Amino acid sequence: MDEKEIMSYEEFNKILEDSVKELKKRYYEDTEKAERNIVFEKIKNRLYENLTLFKDNMDNTFKKIKEYEYGFTLYGDPYQKYQEIDNLKSNYVRSLDINSKIVISLEIAKIYSGMEDWKNSIAILEKALQDNIHEELRIEVKARLFRELGFYKTKLSLDSFLEYNHGLNYLQKAIQINPEDADAFAILGGRWKYIDNKKAHEYYLEAWKLDRSYAYPLVNVIFLEIALKKKIKPIKRYKKYIDLAIQKRKEQINKSEDIPWAFYDLGTLYMLLNNIELSFYYFLLGLRDSPDIWTIETTLKTLELATVVQEEIYGLKYVRVLFLLSIGFFLKKLEMENTKKWKEVKDRLTEEGFNLNLPRLENSIVITAGGISTYDSSKLQELIANLNKAFNKFNGVLISGCNNDDVERLISGFCATSINYIAYLFEPQRVEFRQILGKIVRKKPVGLDHCLEIIFQYWFEILNSTTEFNDIKMIGIEGNYINILEYYIAIAFGVPLSLIENSQGAVSEFLIDTFWKNILDKKYIKKPYYLYKIIKNSDKEIKNFVESKYIKDPDLDNLQIFLIQNVKAGTPTFNVQFVQEHMNMDLVSGFLNAVEIWGEIELKSGETISLEFGERYILGDFIMGDTLKLIFFLKNKPSIWLKDRISAFITKVEEEIGTDLSQYASKDIEYDNFEKIREIFGNIFGSEIFRLFNP
């Protein structure tokens, strides 16, 4: 709805007062009754129209609030968050109902909390207490006000006993106001957890009793009872309620609510039911969607309450190792290998039985996961030939993951002498190291436990390598259900994954899973990004994936060439190529010929024009009158986001360096301030664009 159509509370009151005055005046004038009725209807319709506008605006506000209810927007773009805060503040002013005002305040506070700005969250809610507005609230709104204020106070004041205690008092007040506030009991449980586990258990138990399908307190009740009693019996006691919690969590996931916690709870609950496959599946979804390391650490800490009975809970050991590795790769991605936390992770993995079995890995690392049992002979020979060409000059480490024996045949058929090849293979009843053509091969017995040990071992070796995070990649080639697990893990760790097109087996099954679509586009992320890419069975595409920088943003990945053209001379004033290989010049010439169509089109500066050329696209505009053309060559049709960014980029180029570019064009020489162009790209497209430069 157009912002101009929305009235403020004061505007609405004035219209109402004026309408009543007009109605009284006209009604008592000496006019015909029919005319009085017409006047009355007009005024009534006017009031109704404005009331409808106002209601629509508030409906939209509360629809937005519903989206925030479970906090899944907390991890998005800060700019978008501040926009939402401004919108909610604007609607706060317009709101007629005090309960609506407080609900809006609560949502503003929640957005700030998503940015860990606890001070602003607290300040907004404390104002309601200072103004004594809360005395007029409905019970559920009033209880929520005290509950969330208590939560934010305890989060901010971990080092201040007095302030922390104030937060606890607010939570107790919420329960006094509404004894059926399960969330307040659950938060109090969280505040006492690890301080006084008995008291924490009491609060979690009360929360769960109020809602038997509430997974968060149920999980904590079970794990705290296991820790306190050092027995596995609590799992059996609550088993019939686990299905209820699973069902509710799945419903929330379908609405993108409470991510990643809903995934983590499902992983935990399925583990308690001894369903290790589904447990890993949901844990990996949670790890994939965790915005920060603390969400991973918090879940791991809860799981470790059950280490006293670890041998009786199938899969718990491997889940803990998975989480430790995930924390390790999170730190590696942030280049925090020298921190205390990094050392703790490595030490704990060593305690779990993982040791370095190889010389410390260096250079690039590529993992090939899958198998070739379903390939026909001609297709297999083509694949081997393409892999051989792609890796011909690869100077790094090639790991064939948890594969079948036939992968040894595949990889040994194309390995160049410069490759350090490590194969982790299955073979029943044999455990040995042996040298084949100078490549290290490790064989292990078959079985899920051993598969997980193999997978975690090679990730442990990679974690301890000196290889930069961005130089670790995985290629998927058919395979079985174990290889699907390898794909999940690579994505969860943030490692680039490409799958060979038209592969069968594991790859085909993986591609139909709606939770693992190649482009993740959910409400709780700021914009879509690639989880993995599908590449053709060609040496060029495989080589490009192995050697080039991996771009997760589909919009940035769409960029191929940026060109500033001197219109009069028909020569480039500046150009940058974003693709690994130089584009085919015939194709570029075709693009440029298509661009000449613009010479026949009347354009106004600032209007970005898009042209389709075969399967490619051109996007650009004139600047400085018609002196220069700024042209982007794209692989695919641009999204609205990309169009907007390109339009903003062109405007910014004209504003900041348009005069300089014109001077270079007048002398028919190329613009040489590459860093300035790069700076403008970064300001408009974000920092990931820098990965496209000097690929």
Least confident residue range of 85-94, 175-184, 428-437: 428-437
Mapping DSSP to helix (H, G, I), strand (E, B) and coil, where does residue 269 land?
helix
Give the other-Cβ count within 10 Å of 420's Cβ.
19
* pLDDT band at residue 317 under the 50/70/90 scheme: very high
The whole-number pLDDT of residue 549 equals 81
Maximal C-alpha separation, the chain: 111
Least confident residue range of 110-124, 344-358, 404-418: 404-418
The whole-number pLDDT of residue 415 equals 54
Cα dihedral: 263, 267, 272, 274 (round 10): 140
Is the model's pLDDT at 337 over the cut of 70? yes
Question: 539-570 burial, b if ≥16 CB within 10 A, otherwise e?
Answer: bebbbbbbbebbbbbbbbbbbbbbbbbbbeee
Q: Residue 201 is encoded by which pair of tokens?
A: 């258990």
The whole-number pLDDT of residue 3 equals 37
What lies within 8 Å, CB to CB, of 373 at 6+ separation is 404, 406, 478, 505
Best mean pLDDT range from 68-72, 119-123, 287-291: 287-291
The whole-number pLDDT of residue 85 equals 52
**Greater pLDDT, 378 or 695:** 378
The whole-number pLDDT of residue 30 equals 44
Instruction: Summarize pLDDT for 172-229 with one digit per residue, the tens.
Output: 999 999 999 999 999 999 999 998 999 999 999 999 999 999 999 999 999 999 999 9
Q: Residue 542 is encoded by which pair of tokens?
A: 């495989």
* pLDDT band at residue 123 under the 50/70/90 scheme: confident
* pLDDT band at residue 158 under the 50/70/90 scheme: low
What lies within 8 Å, CB to CB, of 70 at 6+ separation is 252, 255, 257, 258
Strand order in the sheet with 628-634: 571-577, 559-566, 628-634, 616-623, 609-613
Percent of the chain with pLDDT over 70: 71
Torsions phi, psi for 179 (to 5 deg): -65, -10
* pLDDT band at residue 612 under the 50/70/90 scheme: low
The whole-number pLDDT of residue 48 equals 52
> Cα–Cα distance between 242 and 240 in angstroms, integer?
6
The whole-number pLDDT of residue 488 equals 94
366 forms beta bridges with 398, 473
* pLDDT band at residue 324 under the 50/70/90 scheme: very high
Q: Where are the alpha helices (DSSP H) in 537-611?
A: 539-547, 554-557, 585-595
The whole-number pLDDT of residue 127 equals 80
Is the model's pLDDT at 333 over the cut of 50? yes
